[in-house]
């Protein structure tokens, strides 16, 4: 493979620039950590680690999240950061994502620098990426995806270094890192095909007469062998720890995605919502979005802000695409390699958004990083006309950067949020139920905090999640859990679930899980309220079931 040597000035600036980017963004993210544990989906799950203080695993969607959190908080404890309360633990876990997000931006910066040799464009790209709504909100919270993003980008970086150095060992290590990213957050594996393209295009440019050249199948094979070895190793460890030791069970666990029955699907609606998801995850527009029809009939000022942001950004993307297409044959070898790899990565990482949810912040992290990389390549191409240079290379990027700066208002609001009342209410629930009791909850804030931070293992029954996994079979599983609780002499409590109105039920549980509201009528009729709590403007009740009346 041809080894491309960077100019000495560029090699000298890379460490300094990378260090400055890491320090600035790590400090920025840490300073603006969200005080709202419900600002993003999944952040509250770290409290289960605080509660259990042991190695355990989640579903395949984010298998290693508890392990990542446990390792991070144990490391933080060595530096004097110890949590005495669930909220303190959440705040320490947020730092994990602050560091991982800042490190991810450093990798994007280096990849852009190596591709186009322009520190100004690289810096502008990573600053805009780092301040985009999806990236900023995930980096300042405690959920699962950011560590997975870091591992996936590190895998690409190691692969680039391996191909430059002609190191089979680094190529193998890159293969090991992709399943690690997948185990941290499953959708991150969709960047792996870009690694295969990177190997192929680099091999295609190599000097065939070089004694160090190797067959393409060897390079691809070593990379894929690393992927396979890490994938089987991680799942084998998780299966062994959780008691799934038979070959059939282990094979079943490899591909298990239980919530796919409620979320997975392809349709024109998701495809049409993809551009809206792109704009909403870059700029602070349309905070409440229930589809394009709902947006068009909503407040005019928010719709106007969305349309303005969409027009500027999408026109800018079209100009960038046209420039790349027109000058595709004139690009340098590094830029062509980056273009092939970036387009492959972008198309592949858009797949989860198309088949799962085009608005979901976590799924936009990789596509936004790849989009920043591709835009940087387009901006490096010299403009033919002066007006193009001013408009496309200066005015439009400045407008986009100005737009993402408005995300600070949302982040400052989240940073100042006070969720202490929800923690007090969840703790109050724990004081009213015993270790032998079963609490049946849904996705209200009090139930989620109680389930993660206080409920004994196997003593919380998340009815909505059971519905996502098993559909109407959740009703049968609930009945079995109630019977088991009665046998051990415990009580059954319902937290929030029975308060849902028919409209609320039909918003998710009915259509997504296929469970009619009438399935819970016997529990409504034979339970009584023993405490009430507040979830915003909604009242959440803790009800105790009279088991003798349900027989």
Q: What digits encode the pLDDT tens for the residues 318-343?
A: 999 999 999 988 999 999 999 999 99
Domain ranges in the chain are 10-413, 420-549
Could you say which residues of the chain have pLDDT below 70? 1-13, 207-212, 384, 548-551
- What is the per-residue pLDDT for 93? 98
Q: Distance between CA atoms of 212 and 203, rounded to whole angstroms?
A: 12
Q: Distance between CA atoms of 151 and 181, rounded to whole angstroms?
A: 5
pLDDT digits (tens, 9 = 90+) for 103-130: 999 999 999 999 998 999 999 999 999 9
Compute, in degrees rounded to 10, the torsion defined by CA atoms 403, 404, 406, 411.
170
- What is the per-residue pLDDT for 12? 47
Beta strands 492-495 and 538-545 are antiparallel
- What is the per-residue pLDDT for 4? 47
Is 134 exposed, middle or buried, given 0-12, 13-18 or 19+ CB atoms closer than 10 A? Answer: buried
- What is the per-residue pLDDT for 212? 56
Tokens of 427: 């703790």
- Tokens 């989860």, located at residue: 352
pLDDT digits (tens, 9 = 90+) for 486-542: 999 999 999 999 999 999 999 899 998 999 999 999 999 999 999 999 888 889 999
Report residue 437 CA to chain centroid gap.
Answer: 34
- Could you tell me the CA-to-CA distances from 539 to 45, 369, 532, 533 in Å, in that order? 23, 41, 7, 6
- What is the per-residue pLDDT for 17? 84
- What is the per-residue pLDDT for 6? 47
- What is the per-residue pLDDT for 551? 52
Question: In terms of DSSP H, where are the helices of 32-64?
Answer: 46-52
Model-wide pTM > 0.85 = yes
Residue 447 phi/psi, 5° resolution?
-65, -40
- What is the per-residue pLDDT for 263? 83
Question: In terms of DSSP H, where are the helices of 117-191?
Answer: 119-131, 133-139, 145-165, 168-184
């Amino acid at each position: 493979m041809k080894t491309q040597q960077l100019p000495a000035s560029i090699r000298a600036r890379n460490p300094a620039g990378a260090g400055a980017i890491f320090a600035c963004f790590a400090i920025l993210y840490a300073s603006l950590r969200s005080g709202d544990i419900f600002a993003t989906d999944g952040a509250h799950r770290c409290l289960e680690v605080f509660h259990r203080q042991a190695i355990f695993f989640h579903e395949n969607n984010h298998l290693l999240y508890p392990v990542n959190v446990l390792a991070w908080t144990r490391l933080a404890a060595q530096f004097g950061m110890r949590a005495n309360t669930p909220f303190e633990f959440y705040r320490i876990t947020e730092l994990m994502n602050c560091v991982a997000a800042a490190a991810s931006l450093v990798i994007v910066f280096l990849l852009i620098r190596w591709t186009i040799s322009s520190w100004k464009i690289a810096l502008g790209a990573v600053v805009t990426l780092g301040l985009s709504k999806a990236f900023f909100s995930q980096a300042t919270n405690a959920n699962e995806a950011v560590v997975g993003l870091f591992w996936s980008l590190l895998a690409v970086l190691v692969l680039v270094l391996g191909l430059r150095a002609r190191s089979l060992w680094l190529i193998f290590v890159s293969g090991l890192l992709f399943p690690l990213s997948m185990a941290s957050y499953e959708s991150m594996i969709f960047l792996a095909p870009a690694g295969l393209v990177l190997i192929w295009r680099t091999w295609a440019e190599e000097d065939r007469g070089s004694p160090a050249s190797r067959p393409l199948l060897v390079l691809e094979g070593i990379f894929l062998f690393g992927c396979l070895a890490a994938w089987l190793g991680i799942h084998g460890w998780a299966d062994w720890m959780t008691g799934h030791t038979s070959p059939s069970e282990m094979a079943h666990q490899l591909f298990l995605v239980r919530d796919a029955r409620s979320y997975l699907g392809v349709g024109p609606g998701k495809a049409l919502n993809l551009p809206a998801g792109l704009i909403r995850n870059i700029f602070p527009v349309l905070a409440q979005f229930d589809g394009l029809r709902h947006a068009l009939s909503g407040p005019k000022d928010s719709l106007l802000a969305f349309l303005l942001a969409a027009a500027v950004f999408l026109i800018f993307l079209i100009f960038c695409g046209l420039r790349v297409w027109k000058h595709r044959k004139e690009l340098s070898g590094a830029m062509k390699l980056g273009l092939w790899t970036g387009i492959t990565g972008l198309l592949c990482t858009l797949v989860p958004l198309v088949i799962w949810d085009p608005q979901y912040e976590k799924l936009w992290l990789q596509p936004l990083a790849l989009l920043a990389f591709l835009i940087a390549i387009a901006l490096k191409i010299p403009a033919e006309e002066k007006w193009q240079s001013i408009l496309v290379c200066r005015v439009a990027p400045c407008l986009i950067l100005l737009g993402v700066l408005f995300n600070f208002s949302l982040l400052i609001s989240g940073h100042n949020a006070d969720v202490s009342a929800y923690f007090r209410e969840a703790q109050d629930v724990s004081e009213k139920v015993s270790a032998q009791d079963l609490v049946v909850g849904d996705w209200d804030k009090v139930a989620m905090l109680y389930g993660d931070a206080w409920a004994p293992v196997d003593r919380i029954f998340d009815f909505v999640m059971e519905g996502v996994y098993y559909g109407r079979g959740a009703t049968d599983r609930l009945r079995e859990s109630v019977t088991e609780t009665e046998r051990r002499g415990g009580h059954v409590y319902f937290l929030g679930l029975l308060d849902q109105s028919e409209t609320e039920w039909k918003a998710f549980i009915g259509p997504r899980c296929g469970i009619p509201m009438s399935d819970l009528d016997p529990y409504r009729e034979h339970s009584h309220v023993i405490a009430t709590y507040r979830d915003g403007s909604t009242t959440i009740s803790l009800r105790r079931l009279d088991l003798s009346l349900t027989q």
